[in-house]
Amino acid sequence: MKNEDVLIYDTTLRDGSQGEQISFSAEEKLRIVQRLDDLGFHYIEGGWPGSNVKDRRFFEMAGDLRLKNARLAAFGSTKRPDLSVEKCSNTQALLQADTPVVTIFGKAWDLHATKILGISPEDNLEIIYDSVDYLKSKSKEVIFDAEHFFDGYKANPEYALKTLQIAGSAGADRIVLCDTNGGTLPWELEEIIRKITVFIPPKHLGIHAHNDCGLAVANSIHAVRLGVRMVQGTVNGYGERCGNADLISVIGNIALKMKKRCLPDSSIRCLTRISRYVSDVANVPPLNTRPYVGRSAFAHKGGVHVNAVLKQPVAYEHIAPELVGNQRRVLVSDLSGKSNIAYEAKELGIRLNEDNRICRNILEEIKKMEDQGYQFDSADGSLALLMKKAIGEFKEYFALESFRVIDEKVGEHSSHSQATIKISVGKDQEITAAEGNGPVNALDNALRKALKKFYPQISEMHLVDFRVRILEGCEGTGAKVRVLLESRDEKDVWTTIGVSTNIIEASWQALIDSIHYKLDKDHAAL
């Protein structure tokens, strides 16, 4: 590694999994490790083998990994105060994990030594020394996480510094300054780091910031600016309470803003992919507004913004989205201008022939419908159909004659739904009935059953998401609702929308748009 490298230490699989509703199986951890290693992450913390069976099993399986770039770390605490290192099960579990790197945390705040562990500050220093010294004697690379360092320094600077110095004298390869409570402000962090680097060179230090004040990324890159060489964090900022420093933003800022080397350029272009991959494994919906990689990170809605971006993207984009594997999006809404319409039409493969009148008509229709509760920036399928209707290219593949939905509940038994539908396709008519898990599902089943006779490709598409939002809650059960349906086939994913005071009617609108979009795009592909 070059001297100017910033080392990226990932603790998604340990600290990240302490976040609410975040959990990884041992097998999932292995898959994430391999992805992070492929990207060139320097350190990956796999878990705490002394705390649970799952992490011990992970380290057993990880023994077969052949990592190309990363060094795998096992995490744990300093030894227990009442036991020697040889008899401390936590310390021995770290050795049994058989990783090249061991990361241990120790108390850097005298309050934790006296009030939490119930020992003297001097005994705490001895514990730190013995733990680091023992692990170094076993030929391990040892990283010492100085837990609560910044709070400890503010309370008792002399003692907090001693904890770092004692770990260094025992042979710790790197000392990490932890803002465990996430309450340190950037100027406090700068002042403290400047004071301690008189005694410990910054190249031997790391930073581990929590996000309780929303400053974890800012504090991390501020530490890097001051010469700290290692940054610990998690993918997507997962972690306990408000989370940890988001390594996605940290890496983006270090590489693209500070112009320091942390990962290869090819890996920077994969930041969006790794963010969404870890989100998928964690079963947590991606945050649209996540910096650099969120779906909305380069999305433009205001007409003035779009007009400028189409001429010079730098006018409203701090970097090119392609640098992090993301892409530009132009949204269409009641805030849009003609530039939004022209851009979105092009993206949807619709030719408007630069006709300002048509663009203006489409824009006016969108503004009128959004006033009624529609939202086309999240309904690309319905937007495409609206545009095709405006230019006379929409074909109505079927028409509704009538439908009836019955939802019956008897006693404590589950409700039972049936739908009957009558449609016309050209001069032909079809009447069918179907059951379903609820009225909307029954209606969907009946419509598909009726259409398959005419359009067998309907069987290729599936509904993958169904979202309902109440638009005016003050109206109670009579409120208007917005329904969004996400559909997909083997090639595409699209979203359609419906709005009504009747949830079944709103669902029907979204449903027929979804099917019309499928039939229209298949026809266009012929």
Query: Could you write out the DSSP letters of every residue in 424-453?
Result: EETTEEEEEEEEESSHHHHHHHHHHHHHTT
Return the CATH number of 398-454, one of 1.10.3470, 3.30.160, 1.10.1760, 3.10.620: 3.30.160
- 3-state class of 160 per DSSP? helix
Contact indicator for 252, 271 with CB cutoff of 8 Å = yes
Reported confidence tier of residue 38, pLDDT bands at 50, 70, 90: very high
Beta pairing class for 399-408 and 416-425: antiparallel
Is 253 or 484 the better-scoring residue by pLDDT? 253
Q: For residue 305, give every residue at least 6 positions away whose Cβ sits within 8 Å of its Cβ, in sequence order, or none.
A: 315, 316
Asked if residue 94 has pLDDT above 90, the reply is yes
Residue 491: its pLDDT value, please?
A: 81
The whole-angstrom separation of Cα 221 and Cα 251 is 9
The conformational region for residue 253 under phi > 0 = left, psi -120 to 50 = alpha, else beta, is alpha
Name the residue among 87, 83, 72, 75 with its Cα closest to residue 50: 75
Reported confidence tier of residue 474, pLDDT bands at 50, 70, 90: low
Return the CATH number of 7-263, one of 3.40.50.620, 3.20.20.70, 3.50.50.60, 3.40.190.10: 3.20.20.70
- Order the strands of the 428-436 sheet from edge to edge: 399-408, 416-425, 428-436
Is 506 or 408 the better-scoring residue by pLDDT? 506
Q: For residue 34, give every residue at least 6 positions away whose Cβ sits within 8 Å of its Cβ, in sequence order, or none.
A: 65
Looking at 10-24, 58-72, 484-498, which range is the least confident one? Answer: 484-498
- 3-state class of 236 per DSSP? helix
Average pLDDT over residues 387-400: 86
Mark out the alpha helices in 255-355 (DSSP H runs): 265-268, 271-282, 303-311, 338-347
Residue 337: its pLDDT value, please?
A: 61
Reported confidence tier of residue 311, pLDDT bands at 50, 70, 90: confident
Contact indicator for 112, 161 with CB cutoff of 8 Å = no
Name the residue among 162, 41, 44, 48 with its Cα closest to residue 108: 162
Asked if residue 312 has pLDDT above 90, the reply is no
The whole-angstrom separation of Cα 298 and Cα 526 is 33
72's enclosing H/E stretch is strand 71-77
Contact indicator for 185, 214 with CB cutoff of 8 Å = no
The domain spans of the chain are 7-263, 299-388, 398-454
Residue 244 DSSP one-character state: B
Residue 507: its pLDDT value, please?
A: 93
Q: Label residue 308 exposed, middle or buried (CB < 10 Å: 0-12, 13-18, 19+).
A: middle
Sign of the Cα torsion 497, 499, 503, 504 reads negative
Residue 508: its pLDDT value, please?
A: 93
Question: How confident is the model over 350-393, as pLDDT tens digits?
Answer: 666 655 677 778 778 877 887 788 877 778 889 888 888 888 88
The whole-angstrom separation of Cα 97 and Cα 320 is 42
| Average pLDDT score, the chain | 90
Q: How far is CA 438 from CA 175, 312, 416, 434, 511, in A?
A: 58, 50, 7, 11, 15
- 3-state class of 401 per DSSP? strand
